[in-house]
Every structure is written in structure tokens, then in C-alpha cells.
């Protein structure tokens, strides 16, 4: 009986610890579902000569700056000819992680970085959005949602 209690407490502690890591995730996802919800948190970075935007911050907690870079081709079309990309390069391992989608932007919300990616199938919809957490382990999809028309 004592061993069963210890295992049960260990499982509850593990679940609590995992929930704390992405405690901001549900609120980020709820905010992202609202029309224009995360646009107020978009990271404002000036494009370089190639049109890439870049920020450096310690994402993986090793004390060195990691790099988040993204490119938006800037198409005015509902369905752009070229996709946007965001790449995270971690200083601790040198690993790179990339997300590519029709449209995307990087946001900083509650001191954490996220990627909001979206696409539409036609001028009438349907539309789809994904939100990725940028972490020391890469970019992890934390929620997805969509709709039939272009309006939310």
C-alpha cells in the first residue's frame, strides 16, 4: 500500500511539473482564437537587407543568446505566392528548427516567444491557424484552430 501511494504522489508531481511548464499556453491559445488576439504582442524587428527579421535572446537557458529569425515575403494577396518562415537556432546545441506557412508572425507574451502561423485554402476560406511555443527544445505546436469563412 505504501509503494502505491509513493507512485501515485510521484505521478501527481510529474503532472503538476509538466502543467507548470506550459501554464501560459492555454491563455495564449484562448487569446489567439480571438480576432486579432495576439497581434498586439507581435515582435517588432526591422528587416535586414535580405528582408529577414532577427532577434537574439536566451531561449534555452544556457546563458548565451539564441537566434529567432523570420522572413515574410510581404504579399498583399490572400494566398501569397511564397510562404513565410521562422527559424530558431539554439546556441547550446547548434540545432535549428523551422516552421513554414502562408503567413506567420512572432509574438512575445508573458516573457515567452510564440509563433502564430496561418493559412487559407481560397479567398472564401476555410482558414487554419497554429500556435507554436518557442522553447529550449525547439518549436512545439501547442494549439490549432480554424473556421469556414475568412472572418473569425
Residue pair 92/136 in contact (Cβ under 8 Å)? The answer is yes
Predicted pLDDT at 151:
52
Would you state the pLDDT for residue 14?
Answer: 34
The residue ranges of the chain whose pLDDT is under 50 are 1-26, 152
The reported pLDDT for the residue numbered 100 is 93
pLDDT at 9: 35
Q: For 55, which DSSP code? A: E
User: Residue 15's pLDDT is what?
Assistant: 34
pLDDT score at 123: 78
Residue 70 and residue 106: Cα distance in Å, rounded? Answer: 8
Considering the entire predicted model, what is its pTM?
A: 0.75
Q: What does the pLDDT read at residue 150?
A: 61
Amino acid at each position: 500500500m505504501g509503494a502505491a501511494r509513493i507512485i501515485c504522489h510521484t505521478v501527481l508531481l510529474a503532472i503538476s511539473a509538466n502543467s507548470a511548464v506550459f501554464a501560459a499556453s492555454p491563455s495564449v491559445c484562448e487569446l489567439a482564437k480571438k480576432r486579432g488576439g495576439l497581434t498586439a504582442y507581435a515582435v517588432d524587428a526591422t528587416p535586414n537587407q535580405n528582408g529577414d527579421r532577427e532577434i537574439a535572446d536566451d531561449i534555452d537557458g544556457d546563458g548565451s543568446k539564441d537566434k529567432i529569425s523570420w522572413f515574410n515575403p510581404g504579399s498583399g494577396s490572400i494566398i501569397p505566392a511564397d510562404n513565410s518562415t521562422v527559424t530558431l537556432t539554439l546556441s547550446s546545441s547548434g540545432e535549428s528548427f523551422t516552421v513554414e506557412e502562408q503567413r506567420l508572425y512572432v509574438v512575445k507574451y508573458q516573457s515567452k516567444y510564440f509563433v502564430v502561423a496561418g493559412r487559407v485554402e481560397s479567398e472564401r476560406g476555410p482558414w487554419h491557424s497554429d500556435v507554436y511555443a518557442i522553447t529550449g527544445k525547439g518549436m512545439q505546436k501547442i494549439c490549432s484552430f480554424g473556421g469556414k469563412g475568412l472572418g473569425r
